[in-house]
Structure 1
Amino acid sequence: MSNASEGKPGISSVESVGLRPLSSLMHHDAMRQLRPITLACLTLLLEGGALMVHDQAQAQAQAQAQAQPQAAVDAPPASGGEAAGAPAAAAQGLNPVLVTGTRAKDRTLADSQVPVDVLSRDDVLRAAGADGTLAAALQALLPSFNFPRQSNSGGADHVRAAQLRGLSPDQVLVLVNGKRRHTSALVNLESKTGKGTNPVDFNTIPLSAVQRIEVVRDGAGAQYGSDAIAGVVNIILDDRRSGTELTTEAGLFHTDFAPTGRTINDGQTQSASLTHGWALGERGFLRAGLEGLHRKATNRSGLDELPSWEDSTPDNLATVGQRNYAAGDPATRQWQAFFNGAVDLQADQQLYAFGTWQERRSVGAAYYRYPDSSANLKSVYPEGYRPETTGHNRDLQLAAGLRGAWADWDYDLSLNHGRNDFDYGVRRSLNVSLGDTSPTRFHLGDFGSRLTGANLDLTRSVSLPGLTRPATLALGLEAREERFATEAGDAASYAVGTFGGPAGAQAGPGLQPEDATRLSRRVVGAYVDLSAHLTRDWEAEAALRHDHYSDFGNATTAKLSSRLALNREVALRGAVSSNFRAPSLAQRGFSFTVTDLGDGGQLSQLKTVPADSAVARYLGAQPLKAEKSRNASLGLTWQPNTQWSATLDAYTIRVKNRITLSQRISGDTLAEELASQFGVVGVDGVNFFTNALDTRTRGADLVTQWTGAGLGGQWKLSWAAAFNKTTVHLHDDANVGLEEINTLTDASPRQRHIFSAQWQSGAWTLLGRATRHGSTTRVFDFGDGFVPTQTYAAVWQLDIEGQWQVTKSLTLSLGAINATDRYPSRSTADIAYYGNFPYDVLSPIGINGAYYYARAKLAF
């Protein structure tokens, strides 16, 4: 769903054709659903739910406000059209005014009713690390955020998915300046994390564009709409009215790689960004920037032992002991740009606009084909070959709006458009069935995603009987259209030739014309939100939302949140809500074939088909339904003084009809049946999307931090931790395999701890961050009871940085990510794929080792 105020502090979206009066929605089943959620909240701690951590709050917020005093004054409200200038004073204090997760204009971090993380611009830039990307920075700063690397994972090498609270990547809503962000066009089918999803690609948003980020770690469907089951990430763009900033950075991986006994230097990275701000009148501004990045590939493959199914010919045996595979990051080149601006039309009216753009080209790795393999033609590749996947990603978001005051209302009227296009290909490949005439480079298909939305958000103060302070009433409407399309690849990429051998491009094949699709949906919705101080120490907020989807029907969600100050130091807060996620258009209509590990661990062709296709129905698939969740949270906040604060929030999230991929359906006769009955040739296995299970995620977040003087400087110390555990309940007719259950439950860490210390004195700033990544588990199901399983132990990561303010304008930094050169546990023989993949990509520490970098920033 969207946010009818995805431009206002916590405004939701509206998506309903033929809306019923809002008063009639009060009697909807969603309200009755809150009763069991309330009970779940009260019993959560007694049942031993985990502790969860995070509110990157006051010390960071103070540094942010001091560095960017204009941020709250001139930025387009992050979610709701709040008047420019209103939060200025508060934003410069210890607790910034929040614009996400609430529609009240005076809600600060300290009195938030739900857990919120606030990350400053400097936080994000410092934490971006080896990737130089936004998602990598979020993982370094937020223990509840997981952004694992992928390798030899097809499209997932080019578009990586991120998780919040251990849930699926498409169960978190992403906003930019409060406006709903469009999703990636690529559906990940070969990754572990995010398999079967096409979520927002965080890395299409330039790092240099970020002013601050607010992360609401709570269900927010009634406030923002579909996808906000795990929470909301609102990226607020830079709105500084003046000044130029030039930043350059260079780095590389330097590691001692035990599996080969070598010291490796690779992954060389260079990046640069330039931003400038202009003042437009008294309050207007324009900020714009451009940045570029070039990163070489990394390779952490081991020494090949030759798979057992490959013939022991002299040429195949000659490959033993060599590094034939490539396990690591893809080579990447990208350009990005942004603008963010506003201009006053009248004293109480402002026109605003913003946009982001990216073009990215990347080259990933695929599995090696041996010289005498059936997948090779020795006349073309005498020594075998390793295909390389190619991705060309283009992304754009543009938004504009008018905000101001009319009578007793503040309004925000906006239009938002986003699009993502991904061209997928493979090079150094073959279609063996075409013989020596086969091309070696193929275009595998085109993917496109579109989102266009219009929002009207209204807020005003209202006096209610019995209340000493005015309440805040918010109303909103949204209309949205979504589109998804795929186009076929080169004919040679899927052709079935006459020379025998496997058909289609190796590391493909391409998308076939009959699999190409064009889908669209229209969404209309409305919301109402009321926030009030019931007493001096007790405040509450209630939200109700209804959405209508043209392709699957209606959804009504509700949320109640509250905060009670027990005394000046301690407060109790909590929330209960119902949320939902509509099946994405890609999940409804996507069809594609990938090369994956099949029976016995051999490479084979796996075709994903829509749930309502003839093939899927033949295999027992049912039409997809929306996911529905019930969320409950209960937390304590403690701030004994201005130097020390701590928060603890426990939660439970129950998701009904969770969408996942079915298990791989294969067998000796399946290929024949597919060819004879449906004309599908060259496919060894099939899967499809299904609502075959329910999940329950229980966890907790803990954040504590202290600021003070010592050793001649100023200190900032913090400990943030996240704990979660997901359990699965399979439906009676479930067709979900062990690998998919593993993906949902323990393929991501159940806990992470981040300890950070920063010391600043004069021109020097030193930063140290120690992160403990929890254990992860990998499960493969190769059939016939062969289920290799391994749990990778928890691992510590140390990041350090030193910064020197050379002059008022010039700052130099040196740092290291994973400075102690740590790796995950070594994979067992059954999982290491005959020595070629000695480390698994599941652990957030990655498989690249230590990364060293230098940065220079010139600001004037």
Structure 2
Amino acid sequence: MNYQNQLTLTLSLLLLPLGVLSQNVVTGTITEASSNSPLPGVNIIEKGTSNGTTSDFEGEFSINVSAFPATLVVTFVGYNSQEITLEAAQQITIALQDGVALDEIILVGNRSKPRTILDSPVPIDNIGLAEMKKTGQPTVDKMLTYKVPSFNSTQQTISDATAHFDPADLRGLGPSRTLVLVNGKRKNQSALVYINDTPGKGEVGVDLKSIPAAAIERIEVLRDGASAQYGSDAIAGVINMVLKKNVEYTTVNAKAGVTTEGDGFNYAVDLNTAITIEERGFLNLTVGYYEQEETNRAGEPGKDVLFGVEANDPTWGNWLANNPDLGMTIGQPELKKFDLFFNSGLPFKNEKGEFYTFGGLTSRTGKSFALYRAPYWVGDPHNLLHDANSEYQGFQPTFETDVIDNNITAGVKWELAGFNFDLSGTFGRNAIDYEVNNTLNVDLGANSPTSFAVGGYSFSNTLANFDISRTVGAFSFGLGAEVKKERFNSEAGQPESYTGSGAQSFPGLQPKNAVRAERENYGIYSEIDWEPTDKLLIGAALRYEDFSDFGNNTSWKVNGRYLLGDKGALRASYSTGFRAPSLHQIYLSNIQTLVSGGTVSNQGTFNNVDPIIRNDLGVPQLSAETSKNISAGITYRIKNNLTVSADFYNVKVDDRVLFTGEIGFDDDNMSTNPVEQVLLNNSITSLKFFVNAVNTNTSGVDLVVNYRKIDLGPGQLNATLAANFNDTKIEGKIDTPALLASNGYEIFNRKEQARITSSRPKSKILLGLDYNLNQWNFGLNNTYFGSVTWRHADNGLNGADLGDGPLPTNDEDYDQTFKGKVITDLVIGYEFNKSLSANIFVNNLLNVYPDEVDTKGDFVTDLGGRFKYPWEVSQFGFSGTVINASATFKF
């Protein structure tokens, strides 16, 4: 054994009487080498089997092994791992040293046998809580954005409820195609469909703000298609949130911050603790609160070309001079969030099983802002929104949300006759209630309220899972079944919110928009791994799913891995996958107020089961998307503290579900076509719907280099370089329904296509430097966000009347590319003692903003100058520099 390159191992053989220690039980204690203090939560796995356990508060563990000799693999995030071969039952003490984490045990990616990152045939990131917190970001989705190059999530603005969720995705494939797990169990999706002009438009994702970072031990990010193992949604990959178990200390964190502009003040406090249950069981509890104020980075055009009001207008010139930003508030919304999470396990007395349960509740409220209604936009509203003795100044409606997300899982694991069983049940629900305040319904006149309950949505799923696994010689088998029921509800708003033209900015959901929909599905899966030699692994997986609303699907996967000694591995996989259209996409309908082409209009979204869509317009029933995913790569440990990995991937998605662009009246005023008749019959100016209509092809490369424990002066430096390069193309023609195509309609124009191909950066590079000097820690993180491109709906070809600037020529068009930028984050930390530490975070140290919008004569691009920075494509937001300070107390 090479002790210099392995863990420092103190192994004391204390052979106990057979009457005290079971024949196949190994017990011991895990400690930290530098301090000799116990390490709770360390993974101990019997190599070649699925037998495993974790250390408790005192660092102690007990594991039943299948037979002797037995090899134990001991791993923990941020420490070197060790393999220990034992000839008989005994008690051991192991001291772990800091190191690179190629040998950490991961849960995601294989359901028949635990594996390490090195052993895995697919690329997996394993990110500990300490790494996430060093980003200085307030929520899990933002933390992942600055830790995983292929993950993107940015703050949205002026986008109704989307501003309170922020679409997040892997590899630019949209929020719908990333599966999120908690402790390996499926997390419920949110109740929201992103229907506004943002990245991820028309998609449904998981509410990542509903999982508090303080409850998480680590996050595993599987960057490979996994539908054959986990079912629908896993086309781009899987994110598994592993909750804390045993913890040595109760930890209290407090944090506060503000932008250098003086707005966006935020503060947070959270507590995590654990208690022991019957000596070896545990209950981990997390409670937290977070609050933030809004920011404002509106443009200041000083005139309003949307309504033809110039700066020197004789009536409104004074108002424009006093309000050059046209009254707008554009930035992050107000937010208040409360979290309560738990994770518990209770081993059987014979150590051959465990009862477990985990879950949580998140409640948050938010307030964002709609377009300001200048006094010339909506007439004097009968003094409803201003003092009767003052001059009417217009008003800005607020969009306010009340979000509840709750989930709970309970299950039991046990071992019998060499088989491992896992039976569990999961319930998860996300609900959103909307209010629109500081507004009115002009059709109600002086009787109009100024605050409206405009409706809401809820989505829930109930699952039961049963998994069986066993390892026999060189083979590991897994099989299982899942039964799931999903429910989607839409509630109408109060009558005043939708009567006539409805509440300004967001007419309430109407009774005809209300829906209670549900569906069931069941799935069965099997997988097998064959390791004919210590170096070679060949695996396969097969999954069959049957949905009550659209039919069935079979997905499969093959993969392989070849170890390059203990230095690294070559890996590759090929899989098929699918994504069932969400209930939201099938049943969502509403009417929304838009500003388009200089006019204010009402747009209707019709659901896929509406006779108007299915019969009148000939739109087919939604069906599942299907995919083909291939990846190949290498991971290699150049030396003990230096590792590199590179993975190529290609993902083809067929029959992708789209949310169409606006379908309205054509330029022919002489006749009414069938589509226009639908608009007239429903008193709307345009409509949208969901349809399977496009095939996409995404190719990319992921690169990761970790260099740890570099001696530099009196301290040590850790360096990480990670990058993602990707490109998505639309293949073939858009599949437009025949009736719409024959009447000249384009359902997915250039602008909508750009949301798939260029709204997210095609490249992202992270360079993280972390320097430890005695009690000090200094971090400097640089994140390069590549360019994004906004494309005009028709590039001015039919838009000669869109503005007062020059028309496009061969050398000039309305499209705009916002060039790549580097965001630099600085972290300074000091550990006063083992109980108290503090940090200062300066996010976006150099106060970098995206390129400003250049309208090129098209005032719709920035809504007449209201938007200074891009809002329909996204890189890193536009809050500027944010300074935060935090303190952590352990006891």
Scaled to the shorter chain, the TM-score interval is 0.7 to 0.9
Partner of residue 290 from structure 1, selected from 274, 287, 291: 287
Partner of residue 111 from structure 1, selected from 93, 113, 119: 119
1:94-133 pair list within 5 angstroms: 94=101, 95-129=103-137, 132-133=138-139
Q: Which amino acid aligns with 1:306?
A: K
Contact 1:824 1:843 (C-alpha < 8 Å) held by counterparts: no
Partner of residue 373 from structure 2, selected from 353, 369, 372: 369
CA distance in 2, matches of 1:72, 1:436: 66
Does 1:850 find its partner at 2:881? Answer: yes
Partner of residue 834 from structure 1, selected from 864, 878, 883: 864
- Structure 1 stretch displaced more, 450-459 or 381-390: 381-390
Q: Which amino acid aligns with 1:540?
A: I
1:207 equivalent in structure 2: 213
Partner of residue 651 from structure 1, selected from 641, 649, 657: 649
Contact 2:118 2:568 (C-alpha < 8 Å) held by counterparts: no
2:506 equivalent in structure 1: 508
Distance 1:702 1:675, change over 3 A: closer
SS in 1 for 2:316: helix
Contact 2:545 2:552 (C-alpha < 8 Å) held by counterparts: yes
Partner of residue 422 from structure 2, selected from 407, 412, 415: 412
**1:676 Cα deviation after fit:** 7.2
**1:664 Cα deviation after fit:** 1.0
- Structure 1 stretch displaced more, 675-684 or 170-179: 675-684
Contact 1:366 1:388 (C-alpha < 8 Å) held by counterparts: yes
Structure 2 unaligned blocks of 5 or more = 1-31, 55-60, 64-71, 82-100, 386-391, 737-746, 803-812
**1:226 Cα deviation after fit:** 0.3
SS in 2 for 1:141: coil
CA distance in 1, matches of 2:677, 2:728: 41
- Structure 1 stretch displaced more, 307-316 or 575-584: 307-316
Contact 2:694 2:735 (C-alpha < 8 Å) held by counterparts: no
TM-score by length of 1: 0.86
1:249-288 pair list within 5 angstroms: 249-254=255-260, 264-288=261-285
CA distance in 1, matches of 2:650, 2:475: 29
1:811 equivalent in structure 2: 837
- Percent identical residues: 32
2:97 equivalent in structure 1: none
Contact 1:646 1:704 (C-alpha < 8 Å) held by counterparts: yes
**1:69 Cα deviation after fit:** 3.5
Bigger proportion of residues as helix? 1
Q: Which amino acid aligns with 2:828?
A: G
2:743 equivalent in structure 1: none
Contact 2:754 2:790 (C-alpha < 8 Å) held by counterparts: yes
SS in 1 for 2:496: helix
Contact 2:789 2:817 (C-alpha < 8 Å) held by counterparts: yes
Distance 1:74 1:493, change over 3 A: farther
Q: Which amino acid aligns with 2:368?
A: G
Does 1:480 find its partner at 2:450? Answer: no
1:733-812 pair list within 5 angstroms: 733-734=735-736, 735-781=747-793, 784-785=798-799, 788-812=814-838
CA distance in 2, matches of 1:245, 1:471: 43
Does 1:239 find its partner at 2:237? Answer: no
RMSD of Structure 2 on Structure 1 (CA): 2.5
CA distance in 2, matches of 1:266, 1:67: 43
Distance 1:736 1:672, change over 3 A: closer
2:663 equivalent in structure 1: 665
**1:506 Cα deviation after fit:** 1.1
SS in 2 for 1:319: helix
1:703 equivalent in structure 2: 704
Does 1:345 find its partner at 2:342? Answer: no
CA distance in 2, matches of 1:554, 1:63: 53
Contact 2:679 2:687 (C-alpha < 8 Å) held by counterparts: no
**1:240 Cα deviation after fit:** 2.1
- Structure 1 stretch displaced more, 638-647 or 566-575: 566-575
**1:603 Cα deviation after fit:** 3.4
Distance 1:370 1:378, change over 3 A: farther
CA distance in 2, matches of 1:407, 1:316: 84
1:314-333 pair list within 5 angstroms: 314-321=314-321, 322=323, 323=325, 324-333=327-336
Distance 1:102 1:72, change over 3 A: farther
Give CA deviations for 1:401-424 in whole Å, capped at 9, x if unaligned.
Answer: 011101111111101000011001
2:890 equivalent in structure 1: 859
Contact 2:664 2:676 (C-alpha < 8 Å) held by counterparts: no
CA distance in 2, matches of 1:188, 1:271: 27
- Structure 1 stretch displaced more, 504-513 or 666-675: 666-675
CA distance in 1, matches of 2:706, 2:37: 20
CA distance in 2, matches of 1:64, 1:307: 66
Contact 2:43 2:52 (C-alpha < 8 Å) held by counterparts: no
- Structure 1 stretch displaced more, 187-196 or 696-705: 187-196
SS in 2 for 1:136: helix
CA distance in 2, matches of 1:779, 1:375: 35
Partner of residue 457 from structure 1, selected from 445, 458, 467: 467
1:357 equivalent in structure 2: 361
Give CA deviations for 1:53-104 in whole Å, capped at 9, x if unaligned.
Answer: xxxxxxxxx99999994324599xxxx9965566871335242111110135
Question: How many equivalent pairs are there?
Answer: 771
Partner of residue 404 from structure 2, selected from 384, 391, 394: 394
SS in 2 for 1:267: coil
Give CA deviations for 1:18-61 in whole Å, capped at 9, x if unaligned.
Answer: xxxxxxxxxxxxxxxxxxxxxxxxxxxxxxxxxxxxxxxxxxxx
CA distance in 2, matches of 1:182, 1:375: 44
CA distance in 1, matches of 2:218, 2:421: 24
**1:316 Cα deviation after fit:** 3.5
**1:597 Cα deviation after fit:** 3.5
- Structure 1 stretch displaced more, 478-487 or 530-539: 530-539
1:478-627 pair list within 5 angstroms: 478-496=482-500, 503-566=501-564, 569-598=567-596, 600-617=597-614, 618-627=616-625
Distance 1:158 1:395, change over 3 A: same
**1:678 Cα deviation after fit:** 8.2
Contact 1:64 1:120 (C-alpha < 8 Å) held by counterparts: no
Contact 2:573 2:632 (C-alpha < 8 Å) held by counterparts: yes
- Structure 1 stretch displaced more, 344-353 or 520-529: 344-353
Distance 1:438 1:304, change over 3 A: farther
Give CA deviations for 1:454-493 in whole Å, capped at 9, x if unaligned.
Answer: 0111111123xxxxxx321111111110100101001111
- Structure 1 stretch displaced more, 768-777 or 706-715: 706-715
**1:376 Cα deviation after fit:** 6.0
Distance 1:671 1:311, change over 3 A: farther
**1:674 Cα deviation after fit:** 8.3
Give CA deviations for 1:745-779 in whole Å, capped at 9, x if unaligned.
Answer: 00110000000010112211111100110001112
**1:449 Cα deviation after fit:** 0.4
CA distance in 2, matches of 1:223, 1:490: 44
1:336 equivalent in structure 2: 339
2:235 equivalent in structure 1: 229
Distance 1:555 1:364, change over 3 A: same
**1:375 Cα deviation after fit:** 6.7
CA distance in 2, matches of 1:164, 1:524: 26
Contact 2:307 2:598 (C-alpha < 8 Å) held by counterparts: no
Give CA deviations for 1:574-606 in whole Å, capped at 9, x if unaligned.
Answer: 1000000000000011101222332x1433222
Distance 1:596 1:128, change over 3 A: farther
TM-score by length of 2: 0.83
CA distance in 1, matches of 2:140, 2:241: 10
SS in 1 for 2:638: coil
Partner of residue 385 from structure 1, selected from 386, 395, 401: 395
Q: Which amino acid aligns with 2:164?
A: H
SS in 1 for 2:116: coil
**1:126 Cα deviation after fit:** 2.2
- Structure 1 stretch displaced more, 835-844 or 750-759: 835-844
Q: Which amino acid aligns with 1:202?
A: L
CA distance in 1, matches of 2:695, 2:503: 37
Does 1:305 find its partner at 2:331? Answer: no
1:154 equivalent in structure 2: 160
1:725 equivalent in structure 2: 727
